[in-house]
A and B are shown apart, each in its own frame.
Chain A
Amino acid sequence: MTKTWNNKAWFMVLPVLLLVAFNAVIPLMTVVNYSVQETFGNNLFFFEGVRWYEEVLASSRFHAALGRQFLFTFIILAIEIPLGVAVALAMPRSGPWVSVCLVFMALPLLVPWNVVGAMWNIFALPDIGLLGRSINALGIDYNFTQQPLSAWFTVVLMDVWHWTSLVVLLAYAGLRSIPDAYYQAAKIDGASRLAVFRYIQLPKMSRVLTIAVLLRFIDSFMIYTEPFVLTGGGPGNATTFLSIDLVKAALGEFNLGIAAAMSIIYFLMTLLVCWVFYTAMTNYYDGER
Chain B
Amino acid sequence: MAQVKQDAARNRGILLRDSGPAQAAAGASDRAAGTRARRRRGREGGGFWWIVPTLYIVFLMLPIYWLINMSFKTTNEILGGFSLWPQNFTIESYVEIFTNPVWYNGYVSSITYVLINTVISVTVALPAAYAFSRYRFLGDKHLFFWLLTNRMAPPAIFALPFYQLYSAIGLFDTPWAVALAHCLFNIPLAVWILEGFMSGVPKEIDETAYIDGYSWPRFFVKIFMPLIASGIGVTAFFCFMFSWVELLLAKTLTAVDAKPIAAVMTRTASTSGYELGLLAAAGVLTIVPGAVVIWFVRNYIAKGFALGRV
Point out residues on A near B: beta carbons under 8 Å.
1-10, 12-13, 15-17, 19-20, 22-24, 26-28, 30-31, 86-87, 90-94, 97, 99, 101-115, 118-120, 122-123, 127-131, 133, 161, 164-166, 168-170, 172-174, 176-177, 179-180, 183-184, 193, 207-208, 211, 218, 221-222, 224-225, 229, 242-243, 246-247, 250-251, 256, 259, 263, 266-267, 270-271, 274-275, 278, 282, 288
- With a cutoff of 8 Å between Cβ atoms, the chain A residues found around residue B152 in the complex are 218, 222, 270-271, 274
- Pairwise interchain contact A1-B203, C-beta atoms closer than 8 A: yes
A109, B241: Cβ atoms under 8 Å? yes
Minimal Cβ-Cβ distance residue in A for B60: A108
Q: How many of chain B's residues have a CB under 8 angstroms from any CB in A? A: 113
Residues of B within 8 A of A23 (CB): 150, 158, 162, 180-181, 183-184
* A9-B245 CB under 8 A given contacts A218-B152, A274-B149: no
Q: In the assembled complex, which residues on chain A have CB atoms less than 8 Å from the CB atom of B84?
A: 130
Query: CB within 8 Å of A: which of B124-160?
Result: 124-125, 127-128, 130-138, 140-141, 143, 145, 147-160
Report yes or no: A119 in contact with B283, Cβ–Cβ below 8 A. Answer: yes
**Is B248 within 8 A of A177, CB to CB?**
no
- Which of B56, B287, B305: most chain A CB closer than 10 A? B305
Assuming A101-B57, A110-B291, A211-B306, is B125 touching A16 (CB within 8 A)? yes
Those 8 A-B pairs whose CB atoms lie nearest each other, nearest first: A110-B290, A27-B161, A222-B154, A90-B52, A12-B131, A173-B302, A9-B131, A30-B161
12 additional A-B pairs beyond A17-B128, A107-B290, A218-B151, beta carbons within 8 Å, are A1-B202, A4-B136, A5-B137, A13-B127, A28-B161, A92-B50, A103-B291, A107-B294, A112-B261, A118-B279, A211-B307, A242-B156
Query: Is B67 at the interface (CB under 8 A from chain A)?
Result: yes
What A residues does B53 contact at CB under 8 A?
87, 90-92, 101
Q: Check: B187 CB closer than 8 A to any chain A CB.
A: yes
Which of B157, B248, B283 contacts A31 (CB under 8 A)?
Answer: B157
